[in-house]
Structure 1
Amino acid sequence: MEVLACNWTAVEIYQRCQLTFVGGSTGAVCIGIASHEIHAALHLGGIATALWPGTADAVRLMGRTAMQATNRAIAKARSQPGRP
């Protein structure tokens, strides 16, 4: 995957974050990246605070995209014959 130079900081911060999952009666569901994960990654990554808003927005977008793909994969796995 090619990453434009203007997005590289957001990618580095995204890689420091973990997706959040919650469990319920139907199984696990991904809810994206928690705000405290992004804040901690920005802080630990040494990102200048002036860059935090734009970088955090880009990381949230990547998290939502990953959340959607993950939840689709979970739903597909649940729909397989012989799966609970």
Structure 2
Amino acid sequence: MYLNPHHRPLQNILWRDNPKLPTQCLQMQTGTYDLKSSSFLATRCLVELAHNEEHNYPLAARALLNNTYVDDILLGSDTLRKLFS
């Protein structure tokens, strides 16, 4: 399903392969939502990100792996100490 050209500027992804490289703005040409596989793909991307960056961001990886429903991260705490323990 191709997006209406008028709506394409609203569908952008910021991307870079390496933190030392400049950020690229990629404009979506097709719709990726409302597909039967959308929830799986969203979850799978977050799991892959958590595993790939676990050594750099252990707390974020734990949140992604244990506190995520589809693409929503549900996490909270009464104190910062409890949150980061």
Which TM-score bucket, shorter chain as reference?
under 0.3
Question: What TM-score comes out, normalization by structure 2 length?
Answer: 0.27
Question: What TM-score comes out, normalization by structure 1 length?
Answer: 0.27
Relative contact order, higher structure (CA 8 A, sep 6+): 1
Larger-gyration structure (1/2) = 2
